[in-house]
Chain A
């Protein structure tokens, strides 16, 4: 199995606001890297004396071990000047980077893992939704995803049917567009950017672009950290740690169509760093 396809992808490695000249030791796909600012004050990533390409976007510094063919994806909706951009900060998780993304694409766990916030046991049903791979962008999209949520966002006052759209524009990144309680017709943007340290260890950098005039930034950060840390205790207890791409090893249902499409898309592109191809 070759890791070249993933080596050519972009990955988040730090908050732009947190870069220092001293640099921070980190890892990317098993290789030691140093993330920081160079002598001119520009963001830089060093890998054993080699300068890696960088992109500054969405409040994060991005890099690649290889030679990316495509520019890093964009999120046009996030450019709206009235949105609050929220750097949620990093959380390390002992799981496959691909498992972390797959969990983010899943709504059926809300009643059990995010009880009384994103879901409740009396409303567990997942209705049919639409999943496609958009050919031009080569991205996985799930749309018309609806779910009953007791407290959909920091700003939500009570239970509502929330509509979601999920987008996977890169192997370890997902963008969620979600009903925005204070602004009907607009979408909140919540992203999960995952840095693969090894196949079974990752740093997760959630990032948000929201319309929210009432909550403080700290409230918004805490809400997202609360949700993600509830997931962490699940992610660290899945067996096997790597994401199985062999359909025989796990049992998807209709609610898991996004995950099924994501796994197929990973396999087709050889995005298999953090995946288990056959049962061990």
Chain B
């Protein structure tokens, strides 16, 4: 599987993260998104007329929507990262995959304005981002009340991976995460997964590595 990738793209990171968590090897092809705008060049437009990344190419299959790519990789390599056939799970998974697009446009939009000089109405993007974070916080709090940590079913799924990056990077668009206790606990549970990988702005949990001083204690 070839991933057309940009190191600072949270949507590309979703794909890299899921692949890493599942132990799936991706062949990465770096795209000069900023400052080169390579995703708007002829070669990549031929592959994806929408002019966006990530793009996943697997033999004949070409996918250009991150939620679709997550579903595809999980279907091939990690069935338990998808909803079961239970209607409640199917609905919840689809709900959160759709919700992740709101995170992308609001928090991701604010991030591009604040960080990389993209045009946009920053105040409106931040307000929409805060509204989405409040919804997510309320939903995760409700999940905690029933003893659950993740968004769907009783385990981590692609719904969590789809929502995690833009939430974790909200501060890049000057939207604070400090008020959201349940989101903090959920993000920590994702970061604590075996084979978790980081991206700039999302640090690993150093405490999970062996303490270099432990020998002295």
Q: Say yes or no: A90 contacts B116, CB within 8 Å.
A: yes
Q: CB-nearest residue of chain A relative to B174? A: A94
A7 within 8 A of B: no
Q: Say yes or no: A233 contacts B30, CB within 8 Å.
A: no
Q: How large is the interface on A (under 10, 10 to 19, 20 to 34, 35 or more residues)?
A: 20 to 34
**Contact check: which of A92, A225, A236 meets B200 at CB < 8 Å?**
A225
Q: In the bound complex, what is the Cα–Cα distance between A236 and B35 (angstroms)?
A: 22
B137 within 8 A of A: no
- B35 partner residues in chain A, CB cutoff 8 A: 15, 18, 87-90, 221
B201 within 8 A of A: yes
Q: In the bound complex, what is the Cα–Cα distance between A94 and B34 (angstroms)?
A: 19
Q: In the bound complex, what is the Cα–Cα distance between A230 and B199 (angstroms)?
A: 8
Q: CB-nearest residue of chain A relative to B29? A: A218
Q: In the bound complex, what is the Cα–Cα distance between A258 and B117 (angstroms)?
A: 31
Q: Say yes or no: B30 contacts A216, CB within 8 Å.
A: yes
Selected interface stretch from B51-59, B92-100, B202-210: B202-210
A143 within 8 A of B: no
Q: How large is the interface on B (under 10, 10 to 19, 20 to 34, 35 or more residues)?
A: 20 to 34
Q: Which of A18, A87, A232 has the most CB of B within 10 A?
A: A232
List CB contacts (< 8 Å) of A86-100 with chain B: 87-92, 94
**Contact check: which of A88, A91, A94, A219 meets B30 at CB < 8 Å?**
A219
A276 within 8 A of B: no
Q: Say yes or no: B8 contacts A218, CB within 8 Å.
A: no
B36 within 8 A of A: yes
- B114 partner residues in chain A, CB cutoff 8 A: 92, 94
Q: In the bound complex, what is the Cα–Cα distance between A94 and B115 (angstroms)?
A: 9
A217 within 8 A of B: yes
B7 within 8 A of A: yes
Q: CB-nearest residue of chain A relative to B114? A: A92
Q: Say yes or no: A218 contacts B32, CB within 8 Å.
A: yes
* Closest Cβ–Cβ distance, residue A22 to chain B (whole Å): 13
* Closest Cβ–Cβ distance, residue B39 to chain A (whole Å): 12
A122 within 8 A of B: yes
A222 within 8 A of B: yes
Q: Say yes or no: A122 contacts B30, CB within 8 Å.
A: no
A212-239 CB mask vs B (1 if < 8 Å, else 0) is: 0000111101100110111011001000
* Closest Cβ–Cβ distance, residue B125 to chain A (whole Å): 15
- A203 partner residues in chain B, CB cutoff 8 A: 117
B186 within 8 A of A: no
A115 within 8 A of B: yes
**Contact check: which of B7, B206, B212 meets A226 at CB < 8 Å?**
B7
A73 within 8 A of B: no
A230-271 CB mask vs B (1 if < 8 Å, else 0) is: 101100100000000000000000000000000000000000
Q: In the bound complex, what is the Cα–Cα distance between A203 and B7 (angstroms)?
A: 20
- A87 partner residues in chain B, CB cutoff 8 A: 35
Q: Which of A92, A122, A124, A216 has the most CB of B within 10 A?
A: A92
- A225 partner residues in chain B, CB cutoff 8 A: 7-8, 34, 200
Q: In the bound complex, what is the Cα–Cα distance between A218 and B30 (angstroms)?
A: 6
**Contact check: which of B6, B117, B174 meets A222 at CB < 8 Å?**
B6
Q: Say yes or no: B7 contacts A222, CB within 8 Å.
A: yes
Q: Say yes or no: B206 contacts A115, CB within 8 Å.
A: yes
Q: CB-nearest residue of chain A relative to B6? A: A222
Q: Say yes or no: B36 contacts A218, CB within 8 Å.
A: yes
- With contacts A92-B114, A121-B212, A218-B38 taken as known, whether A233 is within 8 angstroms of B203 at the C-beta atoms is yes
Q: In the bound complex, what is the Cα–Cα distance between A221 and B38 (angstroms)?
A: 13
Q: Say yes or no: A91 contacts B115, CB within 8 Å.
A: yes
- With contacts A216-B30, A221-B32, A230-B201 taken as known, whether A92 is within 8 angstroms of B117 at the C-beta atoms is yes
* Closest Cβ–Cβ distance, residue B14 to chain A (whole Å): 17
Q: Say yes or no: B34 contacts A89, CB within 8 Å.
A: yes
Q: Given A15-B35, A121-B206, list of 5 further CB < 8 A pairs?
A: A90-B35, A91-B116, A94-B114, A217-B32, A226-B7
Q: Which residues of B contact A (CB under 8 A)?
A: 6-8, 30-32, 34-36, 38, 114-117, 171-172, 174, 200-201, 203-204, 206, 209, 212
Give 21 pairs: A residue, B residue, CB < 8 Å, sorted on A: A89-B35, A91-B116, A92-B114, A115-B204, A121-B206, A121-B212, A217-B32, A218-B30, A219-B30, A221-B36, A222-B6, A222-B30, A226-B200, A228-B200, A230-B200, A230-B201, A232-B172, A232-B200, A233-B171, A233-B203, A236-B171
